[in-house]
Amino acid sequence: MTHPFLDLPPLTAARFASIEDRVARLLDTRQDVVIMQGEALLPLEGAIRGTAGPGTTALNVITGPYGQTFGNWLRDCGATVIDLAVPFHTAVTADQIRAAFAEHPEIDFVSLVHAEAATGNTNPVAEIGEVVRAHGALFYLDAVASIGAEPVLPDAWGVDLCVIGAQKAMGGPAGVSAVSVSERAWARMAANPSAPRRSYLSLLDWKERWIDGGRTALPHAPAQLEMLALEACVERIEGDGLEAVMARHRAAASSTRAGVVALGGGLEPYVHDAREAAPVATTLRVPAGVVASEVVARVLAAEPGLPLAAGGGGLAREMIRVNHYGVDAGVGVVRGCVAALGAVLGELGMGVDVGAAVGVVEAGWR
């Protein structure tokens, strides 16, 4: 008896290439797209180790925890790193990037996270891309949390290395990710003596052994389950229409925000300006005297399926994350989250209006 996902025929090179082409269409890019068969940290790390070295001066923008990680990899590669940290309740501006270039004209690499699911902000990549391009620096972007939730356009924005993962707004599996690589980025890697080679982290291996050979022979056995799941998730986005998927995430974010404001009780959107709030997830600040992780624990004890989490690390006391992405970007989940948060805050003695909040959430989807 054959098993539905154990006894699979081999995944062919042609199928693998066609999945890459579909991902390239999703990104509207003519750059090479390399599918990395691992969680998104694999291409995120591989792209930095491939392009950065002791001669690199990197501007590393920190708008959440991932920026911190990138800075550590860059330093590990021997790069000189200029950290530009902005408070987590806001986004970085193109003017801040411009000022950093004015102060350090030697910057030749910029790393940026597009949207941060962990802090709930999103950065103006198109405007920042113009500044980066004007200075000729290489532009590295983590679009894991933005792809599927808002436009991600590496060619239009001049992004040289654009990393995506399937596990957030794409509604796919966590074990597969991709990176688009510009000609400039390939040249930087080829000239970098410390770029990984003959390594699982190596993008150059994929270029030399797969792309340059016309994508006819895979360098090793592909991760079939993850590749098929990625194909299915891109197919589903194509079927629904990328615009419709993004609209669903926008509605989830704006209705969560509006619902929380209507709820009252001291719960507030963590990101002050709605234009800087990411469509992928909404972060909330709890009222003084209330511990976010305790509120989340009480909500999940009553309704374990809701996509709520406390902020990571030091944010666990003050931040609640509403992870309304993928299948959870819908009115039912948002209504459920806002109502359940209201119920727990009510139990804690906060003056909340759950009925008004639910009405506002529902209005946001009509």
State which of residues 61, 117, 223, 299 lies at the interface with ligand PLP (CB under 6 A): 117
**In the chain, helix, strand, coil percent, each to 5?**
45, 15, 40
Torsion angles phi and psi, residue 19, rounded to 5: -70, -40
* x/- letters, 49..68, toward ligand PLP (CB under 6 A): -----------------x--
* x/- letters, 200..239, toward ligand PLP (CB under 6 A): ----------------------------------------
Smallest gap from residue 26 Cβ to ligand PLP (A): 17
Residue 251: which residues within 8 A CB-CB, separation 6 or more?
329, 331, 364, 365
Query: Does residue 39 touch ligand PLP according to CB under 6 A?
Result: yes
Integer Cα distance of 140 and 288 in angstroms: 38
Binding to ligand PLP (CB under 6 A) within 141-200 occurs at 142, 144-145, 165, 168
Smallest gap from residue 144 Cβ to ligand PLP (A): 4
State which of residues 40, 245, 246, 308 lies at the interface with ligand PLP (CB under 6 A): 40
Where does residue 136 rank: exposed (0-12), middle (13-18), buried (19+ CB within 10 A)? exposed
Smallest gap from residue 250 Cβ to ligand PLP (A): 17
Integer Cα distance of 26 and 80 in angstroms: 34
Smallest gap from residue 73 Cβ to ligand PLP (A): 13
DSSP tag of 12:
P
Whether 264 and 352 have beta carbons less than 8 Å apart is answered as yes
- Asked whether the CA dihedral 154, 158, 162, 168 is positive or negative, the reply is negative
Give 39 or 108: the residue with its C-beta nearer to ligand PLP.
Answer: 39
Residue 363: which residues within 8 A CB-CB, separation 6 or more?
255, 258
Smallest gap from residue 44 Cβ to ligand PLP (A): 6
Give 39 or 276: the residue with its C-beta nearer to ligand PLP.
Answer: 39
Smallest gap from residue 163 Cβ to ligand PLP (A): 8
Binding residues for ligand PLP, per CB under 6 A?
39-41, 66, 113, 116-117, 142, 144-145, 165, 168
